[in-house]
Copies of this chain bind each other. A is one copy, B any other.
Amino acid sequence: MTISEILLEAEFKTPVVRVQKTVTKHLNKGSVEGMIVVMKSGATAEEISAMALRVESLGLKAHIIKGTERTVIAAVGEKRETTKEALAAGAGVAEILPILAPYKVASKEVKPEPTIITAGSLVVGGNAVGMIGGPCSVESEEQLMEAARAVKAAGGTGLRGGAFKPRTSPYSFQGMKEEGLKILANAREETGLAVVTEVLATEDVDLVASYADVLQIGARNMQNYRLLEAVGNTECAVMLKRGASATMDEFLLAAEYIMNEGNARVMLCERGIRTFESHTRFTLPLASVTYLKDKTHLPIVIDPSHGTGHAYLVPDMAVAAVAIGADALIIEMHPRPEEAMSDGYQSLTPEQFQDTMDRCRTIANAIGKQM
């Protein structure tokens, strides 16, 4: 596939495309550099692809990003004296700007317009608020189908459910694995809901990606860099959960790991941080939404279930998350929370989920969004 073809396809699929994997990772400390090559508004596809090749020929990685008003090429790689000049000489170049943030392709400097990610029926970003519901774990065909129908009936757009479960104890239920994935796929077939499910290990990425619409990277794996690279090499959208004690820079650099492999369809999920507070399982800082929207073009998902750890706190936090501008919510719901094999205490019933959806929709509408 030529760069131009990639470029053309990129317009319809994903706004960031990595052209080639040529850049070594054996860089010296502090020697990395990011630059934004801003193309003129009338630049042709040929000029853009020629520019991308020029970037790669200088030993840098080229990420072509097509915004609504301008196309830019993010060039990231080893720092050299002559790079800027060599790039500025290309045809169709308007200007060359440095990327100041430690993360490059994830930075809003590179792409001021918010990114919208579509994965099956789920749209995250833009004017719509996505709602992903479902149980912590897939436990059986019956349990999951019941949950999926309740999500659909309430107006949800995504279905969550863990088939591979990361559990604190080796003796806890570890998930139904591929059997669970098949059940999720069946539920998608019936309800049309997009499937969001976690992948735990590089060796499972292909398998899970063959069933999922969105690959979830859990909080414990936020800095499992090999896994990030592995999902960065799929075509699948990714939901990256913030580690319980990750800083914002660490979070965005984890997203950069995925994007650096060529997969730009990353949504960031704030799910709460570990603090001294014990009346909630984690502390959910909603200010993260505003902070992240100031720094990155990636869409933001809020998880009020893990973020609070108690079902009675979930609906109110969901409502507040919509008010502050979250692009989607992911909420645990179980047909019978008291029988759940994991996380029952933080799962809503189908009725509570429906009611939460209704309350969230009221807020979304009040601020000019759809849900």
Binds B, one of A63-71, A81-89, A151-159, A272-280: A272-280
* The one of B176, B250, B319, B323 that contacts A168, using a Cβ cutoff of 8 Å: B250
Cβ of A50 within 8 Å of any chain B Cβ, yes or no, is no
- Among A9-17, A233-241, A252-260, A349-357, the one that faces the other chain is A252-260
Number of copies: 4
Contact A172:B29 (CB < 8 A) given known A200-B225, A294-B312, A320-B324: yes
Q: Does A80 contact B (CB under 8 A)?
A: no
Known A102-B169, A170-B260, A362-B367: A273·B277 in contact at CB below 8 Å: yes
A176 to B176, CA, bound (A): 38
A320 with B286, Cβ < 8 A, contacts A200-B226, A275-B275, A276-B245 known = yes
Q: How large is the interface on A (under 10, 10 to 19, 20 to 34, 35 or more residues)?
A: 35 or more
**For residue A100, which residues in chain B have a CB less than 8 angstroms away from its CB?**
none
Tell yes or no: A283 within 8 A of B by CB: yes
Residue A178 interfacial (CB < 8 Å)? no
Stretch at the interface among A20-28, A90-98, A126-134, A187-195: A20-28
A363 to B359, CA, bound (A): 12
Complex CA distance for A322 and B319, rounded to whole angstroms: 10
